Amino acid sequence: MNDRITLRFMTSPQDAALSSTSVAAGRVLEWIDKAGYACAVGWSASYCVTAYVGNVQFTRPIAPGQIVEAHARIIQTGRTSMQVLVTVEAADVRTRRFIPATHCILVFVAVDEDGRPRAVPPWSPSSETDQVLHDRAEERLAPRRAIRDAMQQQVYSDQGTTPRSVLRFLAAPSDANWGGNAHGGTVMRWIDEAAYSCAAGWSSESAVAVYSGGIHFYHPIHIGHIVEVDARLIHTGPHSMHIAIHVRSSSPRTPSVLTLTTRCMSVFVDVGSDGRALPVPPLPLSSEEDHRLASHARELIRMRSELEPLPLEHAPAGDL
């Protein structure tokens, strides 16, 4: 069936996080995007771009040397868009017993040769599993818009005093997707790297991502353009660090004219030698902007907590 696909491969030492024996979250996000892209293109028979990635919870670490399966399936279509559910599982190469590591919903938009959205074939549920997942995808449309609007309303300026980490570089030819721009998965890897830098600076180099969400892609990043990834710590819980990330880009000819291309919220924890989350220092809030953004982070936590979990028990790997 053209509405689903599974990618299978073995992880390598190069996939590991900087200070961990597990695969970096940014690398997992790349795999998620590639599986979702392959599924969306297979259904639409068209080039597609990533528009949104939501609610990625890294529930189980993946070790280098394990076999990974990334299952992707269409669960809802609009006029030009497709919601794709991606589930990532990993197994020891000796046992081949796959255990879920993470899952999320991505939104892809089909585009024509001029980059304009084009219609996609309508998808209809053909099984009870399809229907359950389709209904849950439909239910998430309104909450997703509410989270998007809440994130867009926030202003990040120099009035904020909380820790930041800014990466700045050129988008290289090796970052290109099939359309000639930076691959969505690559952008998410940059996001994870900047967020890690910010989290490690506040806690320690043992910081790891446990969540990434609200990833909205607004504009493509052209190869050869300047990329700026700005990660700011805006809230801490007893064991968590909530980091807002904004990706901007500009032509080298106008380096000061940056366009917002992507935004995201990530959550990191500092992991001890026993694998448990350690307490993190509380974040001091000095300015009005600091307090406003911390309140915004708490509101996003509340909004996410109201989302109904995806009924993955209805979608075993063999059904993907």
pLDDT per residue as tens digits for the range 169-209: 999 999 998 888 999 999 999 999 999 999 999 999 999 99
pLDDT for res 313: 57
Which helix (H) or strand (E) is 289 found in, with range?
A: helix 288-305
φ, ψ for residue 170 (rounded to 5)? -100, 140
User: pLDDT (tens digit, 9 = 90+) per residue, 21-70?
Assistant: 899 999 999 999 999 999 999 999 999 999 999 989 998 999 999 999 99
What tokens does 205 get? 């180099």
Mean pLDDT of 4-10: 96
Pick the CATH number of 4-127 from 3.30.70.120, 2.60.40.1120, 3.10.620.30, 3.10.129.10: 3.10.129.10
pLDDT in tens, 127-139: 999 999 999 999 9
Q: How confident is the model at residue 318 (pLDDT cuts 50, 70, 90)?
A: very low
pLDDT digits (tens, 9 = 90+) for 99-125: 999 999 999 999 998 889 999 999 999
Report the alpha-carbon distance of residue 38 to residue 177 in Å, rounded.
Answer: 12
Confirm whether 4-127 and 164-305 share one CATH topology. yes
Domain ranges in the chain are 4-127, 164-305
Distance CA 124, CA 121 (A): 10
Instruction: Flag whether pLDDT at 254 surpasses 50.
Output: yes
Query: Could you tell me the CATH superfamily of domain 164-305?
Result: Hotdog Thioesterase (3.10.129.10)
pTM: 0.93
H helices present in 105-244, as ranges: 128-139, 141-152, 184-202
Burial category of 21 from C-beta neighbours within 10 Å (exposed 0-12, middle 13-18, buried 19 and up): exposed
Q: Calculate Rg over the CA atoms of the chain.
A: 19
The pLDDT, as a whole number, for residue 212 is 95
